[in-house]
Amino acid sequence: MAAYLVGFCLVWFGGIVGFVIIGQLPHERTLANVGAMLAALLVALVPALATAFLPYRVTVSDDGTCSFRSLLRERRLRVDRIKEIDWDEDYMIIRHDSGKARVLLDPVFKPLLMRLLELNPMIKVPDDLRSSLDDRGAEEEVA
């Protein structure tokens, strides 16, 4: 689903530049018109590339390697390098010793977080998130 949304965003930004902005410019190829087309392309490419680099899939392997997959790259790191996990309204922010990864927030990530905390209990997590994960773990043990 996330890959579909990211692909849709790329097509949307490309459509804005190709059909709306560049289509409204005069068709004479003067220096000012070409500069305006390049500026419009740059304005559309910045959010498109930011969206394409946003990880949509996070996996944790049995050997403790965490993989962040986006449309344009895949980043791997060891779970013991993860220092902190935080949330905001739209993203899960995973801070590690060489930077951070922002992942689109999805309720499916709770088992992933439980697995990360199982592999590295030293990860800093907000208290409300840790309590919700503990509640979920207790529900799974009962079931």
- Give the residue extent of every domain in the chain: 2-52, 72-142
Chain segment 7-44, per-residue pLDDT in tens: 666 676 666 666 666 666 666 778 887 787 778 777 77
Q: What percent of the chain has a predicted confidence (pLDDT) above 70?
A: 73
Q: What is the pTM of this model?
A: 0.65
**Per-residue pLDDT tens over the stretch 43-53:** 777 777 777 78
The per-residue pLDDT for 62 is 85
- pLDDT tens-digit map of 103-136: 877 777 778 888 888 888 899 988 877 777 666 5
* H-state helical runs in the chain: 2-15, 22-24, 31-52, 109-119, 127-142
Q: State the DSSP H helix or E strand holding residue 104, giving kind and residue range, or none if neither.
A: strand 99-104
With CA atoms as reference, report the closest residue to 90 among 113, 74, 109: 109
Q: Is 116 exposed, middle or buried (0-12, 13-18, 19+ CB in 10 A)?
A: buried
26: three-class secondary structure by DSSP: coil
CA–CA distances in Å: residue 57 to residues 15, 66, 70 = 26, 10, 7
Confidence (pLDDT) at 136: 55
> Helix 31-52 vs helix 2-15: angle between axes, to the nearest 10 degrees?
170
Name residue 124's beta-bridge partners.
84
Give the C-alpha separation, 7 to 70, whole Å.
Answer: 11
More confident residue, 59 or 108: 59
Classify 71 as helix, strand or coil. coil
According to DSSP, residue 124 is labeled B
